[in-house]
């Protein structure tokens, strides 16, 4: 705890930002979207869908260095038993960073069937689909999907009052601008 306090004090003293092993908000696509969002290209957020569905059974039984867990030792901590809602940084983190909005209310109905090979059953831990609807600080809604299923998905879609974006939907980053559902969709290279 004292080490954490020293870290916060050092960051504040030097006017820096501390980033603890988070990477998804800072991909080229998400940084591009953030810049364009701040410029007003998309208008105000209406709705978004972000997925981070990743079947990680092999990671539950290895140490961080990739070596298998030895019999008699505990399995890898959070990847074995922690609810997927605690692991929302890859799905919820980007939308918060892009728009600057914050959650105000969360409703979740995790599915109970669990993939075989996870330590816990049902919605008590990992190994199931865990969707939620989140009200954001401007009144918009996000459908946030996390979990471990038989189909990995890292899809991100944003709908603003002036335009929309899709990322990871099989065609890179695509924009549809103009506030119309039938506006042309075009690919963007965020680099």
**Buried (b) or exposed (e) across 152-173, using 16+ Cβ within 10 A?**
eeebbbbbbeebbbbbbbeeeb
Q: What percent of the chain has pLDDT over 70?
A: 85
Average pLDDT of the segment spanning 8-37: 88
Q: Where are the beta strands (DSSP E) in 22-162?
A: 45-53, 103-108, 129-136, 141-147, 156-160
CB atoms within 10 A of CB 89: 17
Average pLDDT, the chain: 84
Which pLDDT score is estimated for 152? 84
Residue 43 in this model has a pLDDT that exceeds 60 = yes
Per-residue model confidence as pLDDT tens digits over 110-120: 787 777 777 66
Which pLDDT score is estimated for 68? 73
pTM exceeding 0.85: no
| % helix, strand, coil for the chain, step of 5 | 25, 25, 45
Average pLDDT of the segment spanning 127-144: 92
Average pLDDT of the segment spanning 164-186: 89
Measured between alpha carbons, how far is residue 159 from residues 41, 127, 164 in Å?
A: 11, 29, 4
Residue 141 in this model has a pLDDT that exceeds 80 = yes
Cα separation, 102 vs 158, in Å, equals: 15
Decide which of 147 and 122 is more confident: 147
Segment holding 188, helix H or strand E: strand 185-188
Least confident among 24-28, 59-63, 181-185: 59-63
Q: Which of 67, 72, 132 is nearest to 103 (CA)?
A: 132
Residue 140 in this model has a pLDDT that exceeds 60 = yes
Least confident among 6-20, 60-74, 124-138: 60-74
Instruction: Report the DSSP beta bridge partners of residue 157.
Output: 49, 166
Which pLDDT score is estimated for 98? 96
Average pLDDT of the segment spanning 133-151: 92
Check residue 75 and report its DSSP letter: P
Average pLDDT of the segment spanning 62-91: 70
Check residue 30 and report its DSSP letter: H
């Amino acid at each position: 705890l004292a080490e954490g306090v020293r870290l916060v004090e050092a960051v504040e003293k030097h006017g820096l930002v501390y980033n603890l092993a988070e990477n998804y908000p800072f991909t080229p696509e998400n940084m591009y979207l953030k810049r364009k969002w701040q410029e007003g290209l998309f208008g105000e957020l209406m709705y978004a869908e972000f997925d981070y569905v990743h079947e990680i059974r092999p990671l539950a039984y290895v140490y961080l260095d990739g070596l298998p867990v030895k019999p008699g030792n505990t399995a890898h901590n959070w990847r074995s038993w922690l609810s997927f809602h605690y692991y929302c940084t890859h799905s919820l983190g980007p939308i918060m960073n892009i728009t600057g909005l914050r959650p105000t209310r969360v409703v979740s109905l995790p599915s109970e069937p669990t993939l075989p090979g996870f330590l816990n059953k049902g919605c008590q831990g990992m190994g199931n689909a865990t969707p939620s609807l989140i009200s954001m600080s401007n009144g918009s809604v996000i459908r946030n999907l996390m979990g471990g299923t038989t189909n990995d998905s890292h899809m991100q879609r944003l709908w603003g009052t002036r335009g929309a974006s899709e990322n990871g939907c099989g065609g890179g980053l695509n924009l549809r601008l103009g506030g119309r559902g039938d506006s042309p969709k075009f690919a963007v290279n965020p680099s």
